[in-house]
Amino acid sequence: MPQKEFCPKSYQETPAGAQSSAAVHLRSGSDKRQFDFSFEPIRENLFRVTFSSEDHPLPPFPSVTKPVTSLEDIHVSTEHGFQQKTIEVGDVIASVEWANTPVVSLSWKDTDKPLYRDLPLRSYVADASGIAHYTEHDRNDLHVGLGEKRAPMDLSGRHFQLSATDSFGYDVYNTDPLYKHIPLLIKASPAGCVAIFSTTHGRGTWSVGSEVDGLWGHFKVYRQDYGGLEQYLIVGKTLKDVVRSYAELVGHPILVPRWAYGYISGGYKYTMMDEPPAHQALMEFADKLKEHEIPCSGHQMSSGYSIAEVEPKVRNVFTWNKYRFPNPEEWIAKYHSRGIRLITNIKPFLLGSHPDFQKLIDGNGFFKNPETNEPGHLNASPPQRWVGWGYETDPEVWTKTLKSGEEQFWFGDTIMVGGVYQPGVSFAKIYLPRKANDQFDFGYVNMNEPYTYFASGQWVEVPSEWKKSIPLLARIGGAIPVGKSVHTRVPGDETPASVAVEELDDYRGVEIFPPRGSSHGQAFSTTWFEDDGISLKPSISQYTVTYSSTEEKVTVGFTRDQKSGFVPAWKELDIILHNGDERRVVSDIGKPVEVNMSLRNLRFWNCCVLGCPAAAAIDLGLCDRCRHHFCALHASSASHGCPWLENIDVPSSKLHDYGLRNDRHNNVGVAYMLIDELPGIPLLHRRPSVEGLRRVFDRKWLYKKVQQSQLLRFATCSWACCMRPKSFCALNTNRDYTTILSDDGREKLIKNEIAELLSQTNTTELVRICTGLNNGVKCTFIAGKHIESDATMGCAKYQAWLSFDNGERWLVQIPRTGNSDVPSELVEYLIASEYATLRFLEPMKIPAPRAFIYGLAYIVMQALPGRPFHAHKVSPSQKAKVLEQVAEIMLEIHEHPVPSAGSPVVDKGQIQISTLAKDRFVGLSTSGPCTTPLEYILAITGQYMDLIADGQLHHKHPLEVFLFYHYLHHNGAAIVAADMQGSFFLKHVDDKGNHLLVDEEFNVVGIVSWQFARTVPASEAFGPSYLTADLVSMYSCNGSVGDDDRLLANALRERGAFGRGSTTGEVRCLLKGMVEAVSGEQIDGLDLWMESQRESCRHDSRWRAINDLCVEQHESRVALGNLGDLRAYD
């Protein structure tokens, strides 16, 4: 129609506005052509706008009846200004300005940028007999809606007619209009979504940014051919919010019958056939369905059945072409006997040539509008969705390729559907959207071979042959309820097409997609609904499956709500794991669950051993060195034939198994041997020596207990004539035999050490392994800084990084060898124990890094943010905040007791408590696991007395320290009497404070350095620690529970003395304070107490060694002139 726009202006508020303080009612100033404008909030996110006049009335029969205003439980406030009104409704700020034309804007109350805004000076205009509504247009936003419209999905920058035609044969890219139109346009952006909906049935157009007029900027315009405007604005954070609110406004669609969810066949050609007649061609088609075992619930007949047999050969609805269908009743019965319903195509018009045209006129049969007020759906989410549905915060979904919606989409909540769109292409390129909330996004898994796991937030290439497969990826954490793979019916359905179906709908399974490893305590939940599928007013029952996972198992919960009265024919629920997931499944009440393996019967490879019919084992079957595939039997036997394995000479009495293993996070195997219960671990060294291999394969975790006279030592004193332990014994460290390195010399020594370490590290293999662990995302090895001012290397471990293409960073820790004579067996045990500890922590709500893999000798873990916490450098309030979080962490640990004391290790895939991991492991008769707190205390104190007597510990103050441990050893029963018998809890032994990582607001974002962690009695796990110890108070002979100790259940701060040596006087005061804290008794004179303890120690086999050490220390102090400390040994 011609454009005859008139723009009313000079608006004034009218008395009608007083009806609601939150509404705005305006009238334009022209007496000749007055227009009324109104704006009012209806619900928290729903607003109504009208623009009308006497000759532009509101729609007389709107598609939506105005809903009742419902704002009772919502915060509403208004602010009036000059020709302006601001209305706050919940989280939405609505503003109406009328200095010229009315301008409505909508925004979230925490931002100034509007989600929606009318175009100033031209917002609402009369256009001949209709109207036009102009709004501002953002070209980067996604626009969808308007009913059926030509591709692509994003409507931005195009022009559309709002009308309906019978548009069979349309061009998907060029034809407009199509069958159905809905005057609903949704604008979606990362900030939120706004829908514009008009209630008219009249014709119109939408120009979604396709018109350009330089004087007005970018705009979109809705033009309505007749009448005034009644319009609703719907605001939401996501598309789902807007669609749900739209459905609540216009009414929910009726329920689709159950059978319609099966395969519906169709095709225009079948009912249009004359030779052979359509009824014969359709029966042949039904025979093919049966031959190929394709279950079919219904057939869409199109409209050929009703085309007249004589000229004019047009569609005569409600009639049959008797040449094509000579006996419709008989033919329908045959199709029903196959269990196939028939769906007819009824055109919404009759032509004058219709044989019953006059009859229908006489019977007033041309129009009937059935109405119902009952909603048919519980929600309004479409099964087929845009890739950004629910992922609006992912910036990639707003790119032009994904906004077009042409190459991939969501099918339901779980399945991402892609496609191959060019001949000869064998890969589909699919984007995997990423959540941006507080929950970790576990990514996706390919539902087709090779069943690869992918991280979210990246483009991936998925194998998919042109015309042979459809790329499908499942969202980790999703679930898909499934039934039988044949045509079924529900009991009670006696319709002709159902009676012919023999199979009942009496099977239900749920395919779940847990993370490949641990879900870190997160539980996933999916709910589905069922009814009989035939009742007009169905009784709906609800079913919910929840699950979580660890490395070894998947825990599943299931609830059903059948109080509606509907009880399905199925009684049991099968849990179906994704192909290749071999973990055991247990219910959330502890019972084993039988897992349906029917979806895992695909064979990748056969065993390569001649004559073996077995399939290659997924977890053991691929050797990373000879690249052959084996079944589980032949992978660990001489049939393997891999020279690398057979060249290792291991005594058969110690060899439990050898062959191949596949780390749970890896797609290929690595060679392994199991020696004396040692878990198989991958080798990281590039060229391991035969001696090194033998040492690895011959070692045992549980060492033989030795006699005191045979006490194992790390090394003897480096001074040639001295036989004492340690590289330098206690005496010789005080002499000038040691060499003090200069800064340059130390730097050179460290550089050489790290250069040698890196030369022995197969970083290429490490990158390959970790790329597999991270779903194929490529990474780069970045050497860590070790001599710079910001070096991250510690005394015990060298640290490097793996930087992934998706932005992730992993930490690689490799034990140093240049400055430590700790035996490599112990280093490897500490690595294994730290890995097991981090695995033990995964299900807890503790910000520990996730461990990915460990080996000989290295560990790879998640790189955490934050900086180390130093209690003596922060304010009291900052310290209090951190300690409060530490208390919460300890409470979480308290919820996970274990039955014995020791250090975690991985044994046959399970976390077990074994020997205590500590830095003097080999120098002691091993301890642990202990089953009672008393046994634990006695073991620890006894070992420390061994070390002190041997000169390995506390060599400067042997007497005081030995007496303390001797006292603790013989009074241990009283100490642990109040403890929880049989319960032990994880303790971070090296908890000086810098093990905590904090952000700028002192939130604890990470806890690291778990290598010496152990499970201990509650009194040690939750008692005083290095983090809270008031050492100054103890040194001052005022030993007691300090302020910061109380703050482990609510205290203030720590005051510590770090890095300085202790004098004998300080040690004596520390001894007095600690004994008083332990015993609860006041010691008036330390000398008298020490004398009483000496008497009880004289029968101890280690007492002579303590006396000898005291004499040596006395002589050393005389030689060095340290006379101030002689009084203690007089």
pLDDT at 725: 36
Q: Which residues of 786-819 are buried (b: 16+ CB within 10 A; e: fewer)?
A: beeeeeebeebbbbbbbebeeeeebbbbbbbbee
Say if residue 309 is in the same domain as residue 457.
Answer: no
What are the structure tokens assigned to 1070, written together? Answer: 């520390």
Residue 687 buriedness (CB in 10 A; 0-12 / 13-18 / 19+): exposed
pLDDT above 90 for 173: no
Burial of 514 (0-12, 13-18, 19+ CB in 10 A): buried
Q: Encoding tokens for residue 918?
A: 């500590």
Average pLDDT for 210-238: 91
pLDDT band at 1044 (very low <50, low <70, confident <90, very high): low
Q: Yes or no: say if 979 and 933 are a contact pair by the CB < 8 Å rule.
A: yes
Global pTM reads 0.43
Strand partners, 902: 1015
- Same domain (yes/no): 490, 460: no
CATH number at residue 113: 2.60.40.1760
User: Lowest-pLDDT range, 779-793, 910-924, 961-975, 998-1012?
Assistant: 910-924
**What pLDDT score was predicted for residue 746?**
61
Q: Has residue 232 got a pLDDT over 90?
A: yes
Top mean pLDDT of 98-107, 786-795, 1078-1087 is at 98-107
In a domain, 1099, yes or no: yes
What's the pLDDT tens digit per position in 723-760? 333 333 444 333 333 333 445 656 777 777 777 777 66
| pLDDT digit string, tens, across residues 877-904 | 888 888 888 888 888 888 888 888 888 8
Of 684-688, 855-859, 982-986, 1116-1120, least confident by mean pLDDT is: 684-688
Between 695 and 52, residue with greater pLDDT: 52
* DSSP codes joined into one string, 675-717: ETTPPP--B-BSS--HHHHHHHHH--SSPPP--GGG---S-B-
Q: Which of 8-17, 425-434, 998-1007 has the lowest mean pLDDT?
A: 8-17
Strand spans (E) along 483-618: 508-512, 524-530, 541-549, 553-561, 573-577, 584-587, 595-596
Residue finishing a domain among 406, 441, 474: 474
Examine residue 660 and state whether it is found in any structural domain, yes or no: no
Task: Indicate whether 923 and 1042 sit together in one domain.
Answer: yes
CB-count exposure of residue 1119 (10 Å: 0-12, 13-18, 19+): exposed
Has residue 773 been placed in a domain? no
Confidence of residue 974 (pLDDT cuts 50, 70, 90): low
Q: Residue 593: pLDDT band by 50, 70, 90 thresholds?
A: low
Res. 1067 pLDDT band, cuts 50 70 90: low
pLDDT band at 242 (very low <50, low <70, confident <90, very high): very high
Provide CB contacts within 8 A for 25, sequence distance 6+. 13, 14, 15, 16, 17, 19, 36, 37, 38
Q: Last residue of a domain, which of 450, 474, 498?
A: 474
Q: What is the mean pLDDT of residues 664-676?
A: 37
Which of 564, 545, 570 minimizes the C-alpha distance to 555? 545
The yes-or-no verdict on residue 309 having pLDDT over 70 is yes
Whether 412 and 558 share a structural domain: no
For the residues 808-817, what does the mean pLDDT come to? 85
> Which band of pLDDT confidence, cut at 50, 70 and 90, is reported for residue 150?
confident
Q: Which residue has the tokens 């019919």?
A: 613
| 623-627, 774-778, 1008-1012: the lowest-pLDDT one | 623-627
- Model confidence at 1020: pLDDT above 60: yes
Domain boundary among 583, 599, 615: 599
Mean pLDDT of 481-503: 81
E strands in 962-1041: 985-987, 996-998, 1004-1007, 1014-1016
Q: Are residues 439 and 566 in the same domain?
A: no
Is the domain of 933 the same as that of 1036?
yes
Higher pLDDT, 499 or 72: 72
| Of the candidate ranges 14-23, 401-410, 894-903, the one whose mean pLDDT is the lowest | 14-23
In this predicted structure, the answer to whether residue 456 has a pLDDT above a threshold of 60 is: yes
pLDDT value of position 719 = 36
- pLDDT band for position 547 (cuts 50, 70, 90): very high
397-406, 751-760, 1033-1042, range with the lowest pLDDT: 1033-1042
The predicted pLDDT at position 26 comes to 93
pLDDT at residue 126 tops 70: yes
748, part of any domain: no
Q: Are 126 and 6 in contact (CB under 8 A)?
A: yes
* Mean pLDDT calculated for residue range 41-45: 93
CATH number of the domain enclosing 354: 3.30.750
* Domain region containing 1070: 867-1124
Does residue 673 or residue 308 have the better pLDDT? 308
- Is the same domain home to 970 and 1085? yes
Average pLDDT, the chain: 75
Query: Into how many domains does the chain fold?
Result: 5
Residue 612 lies in a domain: no
Q: Are residues 285 and 144 in the same domain?
A: no
The confidence band for 958, taking pLDDT boundaries of 50, 70 and 90, is: confident
Residue 851 within a domain: no
| pLDDT, position 815 | 82
CB atoms within 10 A of CB 275: 7
Q: Which residue has the higher pLDDT, 193 or 607?
A: 193
CA–CA distance from 369 to each of 67, 131, 413 (Å)?
Answer: 21, 28, 34
- Give the whole-angstrom CA distance, residue 996 versus residue 984: 22
Do 579 and 496 reside in the same domain of the chain? yes
In-domain check, residue 811: no
Task: State whether 442 and 396 are in the same domain.
Answer: yes
State the DSSP code for 870. -
Residue 670 — very low, low, confident or very high, per pLDDT cuts 50/70/90?
very low
Looking at mean pLDDT, say which of 621-625, 682-686, 784-788, 847-851 comes out highest: 847-851
The confidence band for 214, taking pLDDT boundaries of 50, 70 and 90, is confident
Mind listing the pLDDT tens digit for each residue in 409-455?
999 889 999 988 888 888 889 999 988 766 678 889 998 888 888 88
Percentage of the chain exceeding pLDDT 70: 71
Same domain, 241 and 274: no
Q: Which of 50-64, 1065-1079, 1085-1099 has the lowest mean pLDDT?
A: 1065-1079
**pLDDT score at 1112:** 54
Residue 1018 lies in a domain: yes
Percent of the chain with pLDDT over 90: 22
Q: Is the pLDDT of residue 677 over 60?
A: no
pLDDT at 256: 82
pLDDT band at 384, cuts 50/70/90?
confident
Helices (H) and strands (E) counted in the chain, each on its own, are 23, 53
Contact 489, 295 (CB under 8 A): no
Considering the domain architecture, whether residues 201 and 310 belong to the same structural domain is answered as: no
Residue 661 has pLDDT above 80, yes or no: no
Least confident of 81-90, 374-383, 712-721: 712-721
Q: Is the pLDDT of residue 672 over 60?
A: no
Helical axes 1103-1120 vs 933-949, angle rounded to 10°: 50
pLDDT of residue 106: 95
Here the CATH number for the domain that contains residue 393 is 2.60.40.1180
Under 8 Å between Cβ of 304 and 324? yes
Q: Residue 450's pLDDT is what?
A: 81
Q: What is the mean pLDDT of residues 965-976?
A: 68
Q: Look at residues 610, 619, 689 and name the one whose alpha carbon lies nearest to residue 660.
A: 619
Range of weakest confidence among 156-170, 554-568, 1018-1032: 1018-1032
Q: Can you give the pLDDT at residue 1126?
A: 33
Q: Which range, of 286-295, 930-939, 1025-1034, averages the lowest pLDDT?
A: 1025-1034
Please state the rounded mean pLDDT for residues 535-545. 83
